[in-house]
Amino acid sequence: MDDSIKVLEKIMDICAYRQKILASNIANADTPKYKAKDLNFQEELKRAVETDEQSYKIIEASTTMPNRDENTVNIEVEMTKVAETMLMYHTATQLISTKIRMIKSAVKGGS
């Protein structure tokens, strides 16, 4: 068998972790001097697949200029990232479900 389920699981793990980061950004949208955080999804997926590691490097998001209070959270940007991450997570779950159905069908003899 190929490693597709393993990769899809990694995608789901990274998406879940990223959602926590984004939720923290949104929760701190009014906190003076708070710097929005994120992770480099592609870089973290590559590292997770190659090393089988489950810790991810959080980076300072470089999406917007600071507000007057030096806060860099932009709610519209964060909500777009939340939607994008949810879509990736949902897609990965659908692909895993499809893969499992295919394996079940093969085990049962294609009936």
Its sign, for the CA torsion 98, 104, 106, 109, is negative
| N-to-C CA span, the chain | 20
| Structural domain includes residue 104 | no
Which residues lie across from 37 on neighbouring strands?
A: 60
Three-state SS for 70? coil
Q: Does residue 10 fall inside a structural domain?
A: yes
- Confirm whether 78 is domain-assigned: yes
Inside any domain, residue 102 = no
> Tell me: the pLDDT tens digits for 1-42?
578 899 999 999 999 999 999 999 999 999 999 999 999 999
In a domain, 70, yes or no: yes
pLDDT recorded at residue 111: 55
SS3 103: helix
Question: Do residues 86 and 12 make contact, with C-beta atoms less than 8 angstroms apart?
Answer: no
The closest of 92, 63, 93 to 78, measured between CA atoms, is: 63
Domain membership of residue 9 (yes or no) is yes
Q: pTM of whole model > 0.85?
A: yes
- Number of domains comprising the chain: 1
DSSP, collapsed to helix, strand or coil, labels residue 37 as strand
pLDDT (tens digit per residue) in 43-73: 999 998 888 878 899 999 976 678 889 999 9
| pLDDT given for residue 14 in this prediction | 96
**Domain region containing 68:** 4-97
